[in-house]
Amino acid sequence: VSRFEGIPMAPPDPILGVSEAFKADTSDVKLNLGVGAYRTEELQPYVLNVVKKAENLMLERGDNKEYLPIEGLAAFNKATAELLLGADNPAIKQQRVATVQGLSGTGSLRLGAALIERYFAGSKVLISAPTWGVLFTAYYVYISYIFVWEFIQPGLSYYLAGNHKNIFNDARVPWSEYRYYDPKTVGLDFEGMIEDIKSAPEGSFVVLHGCAHNPTGIDPTLEQWEKIADVIQEKNHIPFFDVAYQGFASGSLDEDAASVRLFVARGMEVLVAQSYSKNLGLYAERIGAINVISSSPESATRVKSQLKRLARPMYSNPPVHGARIVADVVGNPVLFNEWKAEMEMMAGRIKNVRQQLYNSITSKDNSGKDWSFILKQIGMFSFTGLNKEQSDNMTNKWHVYMTKDGRISLAGLSLAKCEYLADAIIDSYH
Ligand code: PLP
pLDDT value of residue 133: 67
- Cα 114–chain centre separation: 18
At 45 the three-state DSSP class reads strand
Gap between the Cα atoms of 362 and 158, Å rounded: 36
Can you tell me which atom of ligand 1 is nearest the CA of 109?
A: 10
At 402 the three-state DSSP class reads coil
Gap between the Cα atoms of 288 and 14, Å rounded: 23
The residue type at 368: G
**pLDDT tens, 57-79?**
999 999 999 999 999 999 999 99
Q: How many angstroms does the Cα of residue 370 sit away from the middle of ligand 1?
A: 30
DSSP for residue 376: H
pLDDT value of residue 162: 60
At 328 the three-state DSSP class reads helix
DSSP for residue 251: S
Gap between the Cα atoms of 352 and 325, Å rounded: 29
At 373 the three-state DSSP class reads helix
Can you tell me which atom of ligand 1 is nearest the CA of 107?
A: 14
Q: Which residue CA neighbors atom 12 of ligand 1 most closely?
A: 105
The residue type at 371: W
Q: What is the 3-state secondary structure (H, E, C) of 94-132?
A: CCCEEEEEEEHHHHHHHHHHHHHHHHCCCCCEEEEECCC
Q: Which residue CA neighbors atom 2 of ligand 1 most closely?
A: 244
| Catalytic residue positions, numbered | 132, 242, 278
Contacts of 176-180 with C-beta under 8 Å, sequence gap 24+, read 176/124, 176/125, 176/126, 176/127, 176/200, 177/126, 177/127, 177/128, 177/129, 177/131, 178/126, 178/127, 178/128, 178/129, 178/206, 179/129, 180/128, 180/129, 180/130, 180/131, 180/213, 180/216, 180/218
Pocket test for ligand 1, best of 16, 109, 128, 163 (most atoms within 8 A of CB): 163
Pocket test for ligand 1, best of 19, 80, 106 (most atoms within 8 A of CB): 106
DSSP secondary structure, 152-214, as one string: TSTT--TTEEEHHHHHHHHTT--EEEEE-EETTTTEE-HHHHHHHHHHSPTT-EEEEESSS-T
Q: How many angstroms does the Cα of residue 275 sit away from the middle of ligand 1?
A: 7
pLDDT value of residue 154: 31
**pLDDT tens, 252-290?**
999 999 999 999 999 999 999 999 999 999 999 999 999
Provide the 10 A C-beta neighbour count for residue 90. 12
Smallest CA-to-CA distance from 205 within 124, 150, 120 is with 124
Smallest CA-to-CA distance from 337 within 68, 53, 119 is with 53
Can you tell me which atom of ligand 1 is nearest the CA of 275?
A: 16
pLDDT value of residue 141: 31
Ligand 1 neighbours by CB, cut-off 6 Å: 36, 104-106, 132, 209, 214, 242, 244, 275, 277, 283, 288
Provide the 10 A C-beta neighbour count for residue 231. 17
At 242 the three-state DSSP class reads strand
Helix (H) or strand (E) holding 409: strand 407-409
Q: How many angstroms does the Cα of residue 104 sit away from the middle of ligand 1?
A: 8
Q: How many angstroms does the Cα of residue 8 sit away from the middle of ligand 1?
A: 28
The residue type at 24: A
Q: Which residue CA neighbors atom 7 of ligand 1 most closely?
A: 244
Pocket test for ligand 1, best of 80, 111, 164, 214 (most atoms within 8 A of CB): 214
Gap between the Cα atoms of 118 and 115, Å rounded: 5
Gap between the Cα atoms of 253 and 251, Å rounded: 7
**ipTM field:** 0.99
For 57, phi then psi, to 5°, come to -55, -40
Sign of the CA dihedral running 72, 78, 84, 89: positive
| Residue ranges of the chain with per-residue pLDDT less than 70 | 133-162
Angle at alpha carbon of residue 205, lines to 199 and 209, rounded to 5°: 100
Gap between the Cα atoms of 109 and 22, Å rounded: 29
Helix, strand, coil shares of the chain as percentages rounded to 5? 50, 15, 35
Q: How many angstroms does the Cα of residue 105 sit away from the middle of ligand 1?
A: 5
Smallest CA-to-CA distance from 239 within 213, 268, 212 is with 268
Can you tell me which atom of ligand 1 is nearest the CA of 132?
A: 3
